[in-house]
Amino acid sequence: MTGGVALAVFGGAAVVDWVAVGRGFRGAEYVAKPAALAALIAYAAASSASAWLVAALALSLAGDVLLMLPFELFVPGLAAFLLAHVAYVAAFRSPALRTMVLLVPVAIVAVPLGSRVVGAIDERALRPPVITYVAVISVMVASALAYGAVAAAWGAVLFMASDALIAWNRFVRRLAWAPVVIMVTYHLGQLGLVTALRGP
């Protein structure tokens, strides 16, 4: 599959997934959601993308599947995405000092929001994994900002916004419009990160 075809398949599958989530078509969602990430993996692999980028996408695909299934697999899904963010950090290879500096404004946003979410989690055993995840995705966002590419910045910010909305919707307050917005920001976020890291 060429890069152009893979990107077109990604776009089509993503839109189908958005509609499926909005209309509650679970069968279509089970096909379209993993298909979108699989196509994005093919798009990345059709270039000079690093193994770290492909690993980040593969782990994201695993997280998608785990969180989509009608079972309680929140922690395994969270772990898959956590490892995906670690792979993204490795793919960016951003200067450590610049990343640390940019981590400050990211933390100013992430810490209050994360504290609100963690405080709303009734099951205390879930709190440490969520806190760890907030820390890791914050480092990923800072790394993306330090990378210096516009696509990396908006991709990482959208990814974090998607995850923040997932957490808010799950633990703090249900929002009727959240599921569709979660998927739109997630797919556009992943596309931004791949665009920045894919290479020629």
Give the chain's largest Cα–Cα span.
47
Mean pLDDT of 66-82: 92
Q: What is the pTM of this model?
A: 0.95
pLDDT tens-digit series, residues 7-23: 999 999 999 999 999 99
Helices (H) and strands (E) in the chain, counts: 8, 0
Which of 38-62 are b and which e, b meaning 16 or more Cβ less than 10 Å from the residue's Cβ?
bbbbbbbbbeebbebbbbbbbbbbb
Q: What is the mean pLDDT of the chain?
A: 95
Cβ atoms of 62 and 80 within 8 Å: the answer is yes
pLDDT tens-digit series, residues 97-146: 999 999 999 999 999 999 999 999 999 999 999 999 999 999 999 999 99
- Judged against a pLDDT cut of 80, whether residue 193 lies above it is answered with yes
- Torsion, CA 171, CA 166, CA 70, CA 42, rounded to 10: -160
Q: What is the pLDDT of residue 3?
A: 85
Residue 12's H or E segment, with its range, is helix 3-23
Confidence label for 191 from pLDDT (cuts 50, 70 and 90): very high
Q: Which two tokens stand for residue 111?
A: 């810490």
> What ranges do the domains of the chain cover?
3-197
